[in-house]
């Protein structure tokens, strides 16, 4: 199996988007993750797509990782943000729109689940109308995003089950979940029905997928392939090598089965 692979824009933000596209095409990637919809036309000229779009910055500060759907007082503003983002994503042919739980800040796990479900339920008819899937990203709260609520696969899967809708799934970030819980292959196998997109990076450090880090990415790639997953695997590591595109090519090679 040959995975459809992409790379997150922010990891290579020091390079012009056109240069990143050119290098991505040479490597054999098929997309650039986390672009705003208005930039997708640029990558389309290279034959690339945007598998998942980023939520825009809002003057209220809502919609970011820390302040999102787990508080009901955020919902009205978030609904307005996504009522603009979802149609824009559809127009740019971006199939997934990212969402976040927000930080706990004292909210219990159950209350956070119920609050997220209440807010996201209001968006699901729009997601269905525009043929997009809302994805909530699993992030670690141990190193990178202290107090983030959707920090375990079990919590994200519980939200998927609570919503019980094909227009809501998870973005499973392998780096983040290795930091939080490990047992990556078994967790992916057990929860693949809830996963729409993957991100990669080395552990520890969130750098290259090299033999200096602890994850066995070829084995993970085979395990994902065995599930029949047909979505994108997006590389989201911060390169440290003198030639970061060589590092990106090496990452892609680990998912070329």
SS3 145: coil
**Ramachandran region, residue 164 (left: φ > 0; alpha: ψ -120 to 50; beta: rest):** left
Residue for token pair 């779009």: 53
Beta bridge partner(s), residue 131: none
- Token pair 């986390």 in the structure block, residue: 34
pLDDT of 58: 83
For the segment 98-154, what is each residue's pLDDT rounded down to a tens digit? 999 999 999 999 999 999 999 999 999 999 999 999 999 999 999 999 999 999 999
Q: State the pLDDT at residue 219.
A: 97
Angle between helices 17-27 and 244-254 (to 10 degrees): 40
Contact 197, 188 (CB under 8 A): no
Q: Which residue has the higher pLDDT, 185 or 57?
A: 185
pLDDT(1) > 70 = no
CB-based contacts of 222-227 (< 8 A; 24+ apart in sequence) = 222/257, 223/185, 223/188, 223/189, 224/3, 224/188, 224/192, 224/198, 225/1, 225/3, 225/257, 226/189, 227/188, 227/189, 227/192
| Model pLDDT, residue 21 | 98
The architecture that CATH gives domain 4-254 is: Alpha-Beta Barrel (3.20)
Residue 203 has pLDDT above 80, yes or no: yes
Token pair in block for residue 102: 């927000």
The pLDDT value recorded for residue 54 is: 85
DSSP 8-state secondary structure symbol assigned to residue 138? P
109-121 and 75-91 helices, crossing angle to 10°: 50
Residue 131: what pLDDT? 98
* pLDDT, average across residues 199-209: 98
Using one digit for the tens of pLDDT, what is the confidence trace for 48-104?
Answer: 999 999 877 788 889 999 999 999 999 999 999 999 999 999 999 999 999 999 999
Sorted by where each begins, the domain ranges of the chain are: 4-254
DSSP 9-59: GGGGTTS-HHHHHHHHHHHT--EEESB-GGGHHHHHTTT-B-SEEPPPP-T
Quick check: helix, strand or coil at residue 218?
helix
Q: Are 152 and 180 in contact (CB under 8 A)?
A: yes
**pTM (predicted TM-score):** 0.97
pLDDT of residue 56: 76
Average pLDDT across the chain, whole number: 96
pLDDT tens for 12-31 read 999 999 999 999 999 999 99
215-242: pLDDT as tens digits: 999 999 999 999 999 999 999 999 999 9
Give the pLDDT of residue 248. Answer: 98
Both tokens of 139, joined, read: 């992030």
CA angle 112, 82, 4 (to 5 degrees): 90
Sheet with 4-8, edge to edge strand ranges: 31-33, 4-8, 232-235, 195-200, 168-173, 133-137, 96-99, 52-53
State how far the Cα of 179 lies from the Cα of 34, in Å rounded to an integer: 22
């Amino acid at each position: 199996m040959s995975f459809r692979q992409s790379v997150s824009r922010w990891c290579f933000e020091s390079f012009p988007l056109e240069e990143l596209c050119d290098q991505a095409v040479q490597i054999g990637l098929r997309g650039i993750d986390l672009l705003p919809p208005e930039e997708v036309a640029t990558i389309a000229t290279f034959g690339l797509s945007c598998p998942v779009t980023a939520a825009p910055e809002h003057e209220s500060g809502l919609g970011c990782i820390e302040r999102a759907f787990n508080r009901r007082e955020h919902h009205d503003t978030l609904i307005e943000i996504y009522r603009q983002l979802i149609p824009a994503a559809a127009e740019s042919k971006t199939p997934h729109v990212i969402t976040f739980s927000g930080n706990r800040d004292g909210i219990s796990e159950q209350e956070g689940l119920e609050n997220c479900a209440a807010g996201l339920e209001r968006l699901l008819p729009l997601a269905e109308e525009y043929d997009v899937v809302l994805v909530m990203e699993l992030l670690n709260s141990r190193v990178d995003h202290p107090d983030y609520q959707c920090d375990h696969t079990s919590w994200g899967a519980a939200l998927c089950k609570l919503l019980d809708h094909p227009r809501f799934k998870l973005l499973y970030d392998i780096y983040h979940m290795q930091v939080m819980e490990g047992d990556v292959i078994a967790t992916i196998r057990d929860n693949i029905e809830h996963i729409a997109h993957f991100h990669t990076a080395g552990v520890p450090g969130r750098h290259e997928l090299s033999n200096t880090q602890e994850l066995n990415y070829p084995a993970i790639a085979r395990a994902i392939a065995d599930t029949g997953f047909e979505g994108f695997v997006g590389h989201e590591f911060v390169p440290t090598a003198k030639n970061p595109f060589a590092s990106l090519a090496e990452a892609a090679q680990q998912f070329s089965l």
